Structure 1
Amino acid sequence: MVIGSLHDHAMGALLGLAIGDALGMPTQSMSPETIRAEYGNAPIRTFIEASARQPIAANMQAGSVTDDTEQALLLANQLIDGNGELDIRQYACALLNWEADMKAKGSLDLLGPSTKRALEQFQAGVAVEQTGILGTTNGGAMRACPIGIANRPGPHLAEIARRSSIVTHNTRQGLESTMLVAAAVSYGINGAAPVEALLLACNFVTAYLAMRQFEGLDAGHWSAKASVIARARWAINWARDHTGDNAADLYDHDMFAQHLRDLIGTSVEANESVPAACAIIARYAERPYDALVVAANLGGDTDTIAAISGAILGACHGAGALPTDLARTVEEVNGLDLAAVAERLLELSERDEYER
């Protein structure tokens, strides 16, 4: 049994993921103006029911998670069942089965555009190395938290993150974003502060992909879109430069959010949503709850930005830094046992590298 600080930080990562996801659920894919029209001018600061005009999750119960948490836990189970390894064909089948279950329930919260296209290719018999070559969105990144819990920073983490990404997001942006989130969670669980975890993760991803290129190995299909890592570094520095003394003021939150939308973007593209999460983490490094509130009210891919922010901040600070009422509610509403998942994943991380 895994006990103590590591378990608290692993729990923090999973709870941060789920709480951020559920806070962002009612606002996902909506503009800031539509969010205010539907839910009022005051920012959303707790779990609320989705409105009837929510485009993806109409009338969903307050505290419900979305595909971000559900697919992250699906990946966690794949890692647990595989004793730390990942069979990507089995993983692809599990994602297809998950969507079939969602459709049977009448849900519109289904696979994202890159994942759906890639898995249709997989079903048609296309090799898994080719199915994800157009995937530049954040589907790999939103699922990556369990990889960071199950692995200490090192080659095995990088390889499992790469494998988890290639079937659906085998682009440079897909690999960078997935590995960045996994590595930042791992560094956080192992003692790094939030900004330190992000910067270490950026260096980790850059070095690993450069090594693969040097060795003539695949490092993600080329896309003309901007680098996730380059934009994440810029976003971190920008956010740190624009953290004022009066950061708790509501107008200051709004002004930061407006600049973030204008300069970075909040779409499902990995090179917008992941740097946006990095900027929020950097600015609210010592205030995880404020970070999640800002993310949930941004507009755009709010559930994913909040989920990624929560996973990394929770990993760094531990479960105790998150509101206990929200933690209790998100587990009760969704029937989750995150403590058990955290323990099983941490048991994988304690295995010696030679056993793998």
Structure 2
Amino acid sequence: MPSKLESHIAGALYGQMLGDAMGMPSELWPRARIKAHFGWIDRFLPGPADNIAACYFTAAQYTDDTAMALALADALIECEGDVVPDVIGNHILTWALQSDAFEKNILGPSSKTALFALKQGANINSLENNGITNGAAMRVSPLGCLLPPMPLSDFIDAVALASSPTHKSDIAVAGATVIAWAISQGIAEKSWSEIQAALPAVAQAAQEKRTTTYSPALSARLQLALETVRNAPDDDTALEQIYQLIGTGTEIIQSVPAAIAMVELAHTEPNRCAILCANLGGDTDTIGAMATAICGALHGVESIDSDFKRQLDEVNALDIDAYSSALARLRQRRMAV
């Protein structure tokens, strides 16, 4: 029987995988095309042959979002909870090479450029990595599982280190901080109302710590995203307004606020969240992975639908219990310092 801490961590990791796999078939398609092709997605489906991002995947299989998250988890566990960019970069690059990610259409532009440079022997410190896409945020859930509540400045520094192999921009670090911090607080059994109220200030602190882009304020976009959901009369209107007003693209300034909005729309229920994200349009698998990881962190692994969990286990053959046990041990060590 897992401990309460292990349950929350496993909930975050299964939530990541659930949102990713549920959103995979509709990845990078417009809302209108998703409706025309699928009607309504409420179960695991294989990637359609004509979806150039999803065509490689079978039903219930996770994508690069969770693969990179697991690479980060492996690096954190290997280093006994220390955040070591070179080790993280090596684990992500190893996955990319083993999965032929450079040849397939499964890497985002920032990650692909950075990983190609690492493949050529570049030093992470020498890379600019000023991209504004969501590669760091989509994989950050294990870091949120590892890091207990701590001074925000230290938390941001840890996220920046973990992000640096592929993303160093102010907005990328801010977006990854928002997702990791929400997961960390959920595991610490803080309520969603407390978490979402604090997120704009967390985003602002992270974005302003080291300015590298002219990105809009993530804090303002988060507030707008939450207000959009609260003012919508029904789910379909909320989905349409998130898609049209907040945006659901691969840029951090769109996808992270959209993910936070989806947590709110789903009332933090992970299975509902994964389904809603799959039907949102745009970067559905990444938004689903981020949002559903937060929901799982809040409620624990018991909140994941047993049939969904069984299918995820059968298709992906991961030992999530081993990950949650190791990350719980390392989190407790950090809490004891």
Same fold (TM over 0.5): yes
Once residues 218 and 267 of structure 2 are traced to their aligned partners in structure 1, the CA distance between those partners, rounded to angstroms, is 20
Alignment of 1:33 with 2:15, yes or no, is no
Structure 1, 225-234 or 339-348: larger mean CA deviation: 225-234
Q: 1:230 aligns with which of 214, 220, 235?
A: 220
Once residues 153 and 204 of structure 1 are traced to their aligned partners in structure 2, the CA distance between those partners, rounded to angstroms, is 13
| Structure 1 residue matching 2:164: 3-state secondary structure | helix
Alignment of 1:93 with 2:90, yes or no, is yes
Equivalent residue letter for 2:4: S
Once residues 205 and 48 of structure 1 are traced to their aligned partners in structure 2, the CA distance between those partners, rounded to angstroms, is 34
| Structure 1 residue matching 2:321: 3-state secondary structure | helix
Once residues 160 and 59 of structure 2 are traced to their aligned partners in structure 1, the CA distance between those partners, rounded to angstroms, is 34
Equivalent residue letter for 1:11: A
Once residues 222 and 256 of structure 2 are traced to their aligned partners in structure 1, the CA distance between those partners, rounded to angstroms, is 7
Deviation at 1:107, TM superposition (A): 7.0
Judge conservation of contact 1:21–1:304 (CA < 8 Å) in 2. yes
TM (norm. structure 1) is 0.87
**1:57 corresponds to which residue?**
54
Judge conservation of contact 1:267–1:300 (CA < 8 Å) in 2. yes
**2:134 corresponds to which residue?**
138
Identity of aligned residues (%): 32
Q: 2:319 aligns with which of 337, 341, 349?
A: 337
Deviation at 1:222, TM superposition (A): 1.8
Alignment of 1:322 with 2:321, yes or no, is no
* Residues 1:200 and 1:331: Cα distance change in structure 2 (over 3 Å): farther
| Structure 1 residue matching 2:25: 3-state secondary structure | helix
In structure 2, the gaps of 5 or more residues are: none
**1:248 corresponds to which residue?**
none
Deviations along 1:249-294, one digit per CA (max 9) or x if unpaired, are: xxx3222111111100000000101100111111222433222211
Once residues 275 and 49 of structure 2 are traced to their aligned partners in structure 1, the CA distance between those partners, rounded to angstroms, is 22
**1:241 corresponds to which residue?**
231
**1:260 corresponds to which residue?**
242
**1:117 corresponds to which residue?**
113
**1:249 corresponds to which residue?**
none
* Residues 1:209 and 1:44: Cα distance change in structure 2 (over 3 Å): closer
**2:169 corresponds to which residue?**
171
Judge conservation of contact 1:92–1:167 (CA < 8 Å) in 2. yes
Alignment of 1:282 with 2:264, yes or no, is yes
Deviation at 1:123, TM superposition (A): 4.5
| Structure 2 residue matching 1:350: 3-state secondary structure | helix
Judge conservation of contact 1:102–1:109 (CA < 8 Å) in 2. no
Judge conservation of contact 1:102–1:110 (CA < 8 Å) in 2. no
Equivalent residue letter for 1:70: A
Deviation at 1:5, TM superposition (A): 1.9
| Superposition CA RMSD, Å | 2.2
Structure 1, 116-125 or 299-308: larger mean CA deviation: 116-125
* Residues 1:340 and 1:201: Cα distance change in structure 2 (over 3 Å): farther
Once residues 54 and 255 of structure 1 are traced to their aligned partners in structure 2, the CA distance between those partners, rounded to angstroms, is 26
Structure 1, 225-234 or 44-53: larger mean CA deviation: 225-234
Once residues 62 and 336 of structure 2 are traced to their aligned partners in structure 1, the CA distance between those partners, rounded to angstroms, is 37
Equivalent residue letter for 1:240: R
Aligned residues: 335
Once residues 13 and 103 of structure 2 are traced to their aligned partners in structure 1, the CA distance between those partners, rounded to angstroms, is 23
| Structure 2 residue matching 1:27: 3-state secondary structure | coil
* Residues 1:302 and 1:352: Cα distance change in structure 2 (over 3 Å): closer
* Residues 1:270 and 1:130: Cα distance change in structure 2 (over 3 Å): farther
* Residues 1:119 and 1:107: Cα distance change in structure 2 (over 3 Å): closer
In structure 1, the gaps of 5 or more residues are: 214-218, 245-251
Once residues 173 and 204 of structure 1 are traced to their aligned partners in structure 2, the CA distance between those partners, rounded to angstroms, is 12
Deviation at 1:78, TM superposition (A): 0.4
Deviations along 1:127-183, one digit per CA (max 9) or x if unpaired, are: 524524421111000111001111112145433211011231111111101111111
Deviation at 1:228, TM superposition (A): 2.4
Alignment of 1:189 with 2:187, yes or no, is yes
Equivalent residue letter for 1:147: L
* Residues 1:161 and 1:255: Cα distance change in structure 2 (over 3 Å): same
Deviations along 1:109-141, one digit per CA (max 9) or x if unpaired, are: 533111111233445565524524421111000
Judge conservation of contact 1:195–1:282 (CA < 8 Å) in 2. no
**2:251 corresponds to which residue?**
269
Once residues 123 and 275 of structure 2 are traced to their aligned partners in structure 1, the CA distance between those partners, rounded to angstroms, is 41
TM (norm. structure 2) is 0.92
* Residues 1:70 and 1:123: Cα distance change in structure 2 (over 3 Å): closer
**2:124 corresponds to which residue?**
128
Once residues 61 and 209 of structure 1 are traced to their aligned partners in structure 2, the CA distance between those partners, rounded to angstroms, is 37
Judge conservation of contact 1:185–1:197 (CA < 8 Å) in 2. no
| Structure 2 residue matching 1:49: 3-state secondary structure | coil
Judge conservation of contact 2:246–2:258 (CA < 8 Å) in 1. yes
Once residues 100 and 56 of structure 2 are traced to their aligned partners in structure 1, the CA distance between those partners, rounded to angstroms, is 17
